[in-house]
Structure formats: C-alpha cells, structure tokens
Amino acid sequence: MRKLSWFNLTSLTFGFAFLYLPMIVLVVYSFNSNKLVTVWAGFSTKWYGELFRNEAMMDAAWVTIRVALASSTLATVLGTLAAYVLVRGGRFHGRTLFSGMLYAPLVMPDVILGLSLLLLFIAIGLDRGLLTIILAHTTFSMAYVAVVVTSRLVAFDRSLEEAALDLGCTRFEAFRLVTLPIIAPAVISGWLLGFTLSLDDLVIASFTSGPSSTTLPIKIFSAVRLGVSPEINALSAILIGIVSVGVITASLISKRAIAKRIADENRATP
C-alpha cells in the first residue's frame, strides 16, 4: 500500500473525525451505566433494556417504519411513472408545468412544504395521522425517485422498447418485461432514497402528524428538549447500526454485480 503524505493523512483524519466522532461518542455513551449522559460510570446495556420497555418509543418506531415503507413504495411507483411519462411522452400538453411541479419539492424549503400540506389536509378535512404523514412523505420522495429514474431512462436505448413492441408486446408488456428490468437498479435506489428520507424527516412530519401518530424523529427531538437521556443514546446507536448494515449491504451487492459483469465480459472475449 502507498504511504500517505502528512498532508493527506491530516485531511483524512480531520474528515473522518468530523464525520464519525460525534457518532462514536454517542455509541460509546449509550453503554454508559450512569444516568448522567456525560459522566462515564462503567459499561452497561441497561439503557437498551429500558428502551425496549418504553412503549411510547416503540410505538413511534413502529409508526416510522410503516410510514417509511408505505411512502417509499408509493413514491417509487408514482415517481417511476412520472419519469416515464416525462422522458417517453413526447411533447404533451402541460409537460413543462408537470415537470416543474414534480421537481418543486426538491428545492422548496421543508417548512413551506410541510405548511402547505398541512393547509391542504385541513382544507379537505383529512384528520392528521398515519395517512397524512405517508401522503406528505410520498410527495417529496416521489420527486427524488423521479430524478433518479429520469436520468436512467434518458440513457436508455429506445429501440429496446420498439423491439419489444415489434416482437408482439403491448405497451404495458414492453414496460414490464423490458424497460422495468433494465432500469430496476435505479428504481431500487430511488426506493432506498425515499425510505431513508422518510426515516430521517422531522420538519414535514411535525406539520402533518397527529396526536395518535408520532414518528421517531419527533419523539427524539421532543425528548432531547427535556434533556438528553441515555435511552436516546441507545436508540440512536441502534439506528446507526441499522443504517450502516443497510448501506454496507447495498454497496456489497452492487460491487459484486460489477465484479460479476467484468468477469463475464472477460470470459466472452477469448
């Protein structure tokens, strides 16, 4: 391995420190037996036990997971269809307006998006709860999915779809049997992106959640305002664990796919 120059070494250290030091501190203190978060009093896993017995926390976690699953799935379907229409639909009436509206949530501040959704739900008389959070999260996740899928579709060879039609597919079959399998990686990353964004959202959820349905970020935020408890540290450590496992798995899968492809190509050229 190449030896790093002192300059590179320094920037690497600082980079990693800025990124990971806060998290490391958090994980370490989640195993602190002391009730005072910042005073170390020995190793213990008792806060994890406390956490799992905390029903309000568990409820919030369950709400969050359901919201993330539902909204990212819904957003993936809608976002993929929207991207398909924008790329393949030609110059239909109102195309510019549609693409502008679709991408608006990307640039709109969360506060404004949350507020306008709140006003909408009140106007149509929809009670705030699980459903409104799902709808709100779908709105912005859909924009992200559309961006990811659009960039894949633009690079997609249109004659593949025409070949499918030529060989007897209806338009829908051509999409299902040819387009979708080929753009699947983009669709899956769109879903993952939507899932993560939903897990992570505090602002929009605050506007659209009701008393019966609180998400984890809201719960954590309000708990922390009363003082950081070791329990929150434990919860955060678990979340860090889940996200890390997810990210590492995803990168391993894509790395293996690339390696396989390269091996295949080498085998093909004698």
Partner 1 sequence: MAVAPHKPRPNPNQNVFAPWDDPDAVPLIRFKNVSKRFGDFTAIDDLTLDIYEREFFALLGPSGCGKTTMMRMLAGFERATEGTITLGGQDMGGIPPNERPVNMMFQSYALFPHLSVWDNIAFGLKRDKLPKDKIEARVSEMLRLTRLEQFAKRKPHQISGGQRQRVALARALAKAPKLLLLDEPLGALDRKLREETQFELMDIQEKTGTTFVIVTHDQEEAMTVASRIAVMDHGKIIQVDTPARVYEQPSSVYVADFIGDVNLIEGVYTRPTPERGEIAYAEGEPPIAVDPVDGITIGTRVTYAIRPEKIRVSREEPDDRANRAFGKIIDIGYLGNTSTYHVELSTGQMVKAAMTNASRIARREFTWDDEVWLSWRETAGVVLAK
Interface contacts to partner 1, rule CB under 8 A: 157, 159-160, 162-170, 173, 177-178, 181-182, 261, 264-265, 267-269
* Least distance from partner 1 to the Cβ atom of residue 257, Å: 12
CA angle 96–99–102, rounded 5-degree value: 145
- Residue 108 or 169 with smaller CB distance to partner 1: 169
Q: What is the DSSP letter of 43?
A: B
Supply 237's token pair: 């450590």
* Least distance from partner 1 to the Cβ atom of residue 171, Å: 9
* Least distance from partner 1 to the Cβ atom of residue 92, Å: 16
Q: Buried (b) or exposed (e) across 82-109, using 16+ Cβ within 10 A?
A: bbbbbbeeeeeeeeeeebeebbebeeee
- Residue 127 or 173 with smaller CB distance to partner 1: 173
Q: How far apart are CA 96 and CA 79, in angstroms?
A: 16
Instruction: For CA atoms 166, 167, 172, 176, give the dihedral sign.
Output: negative
* Least distance from partner 1 to the Cβ atom of residue 261, Å: 8
- Residue 4 or 177 with smaller CB distance to partner 1: 177
Q: How far apart are CA 194 and CA 149, in angstroms?
A: 13
* Least distance from partner 1 to the Cβ atom of residue 163, Å: 4
DSSP 13-37: HHHHHHHHHHHHHHHHHHTB-SSST
- Residue 127 or 166 with smaller CB distance to partner 1: 166
- Residue 1 or 268 with smaller CB distance to partner 1: 268
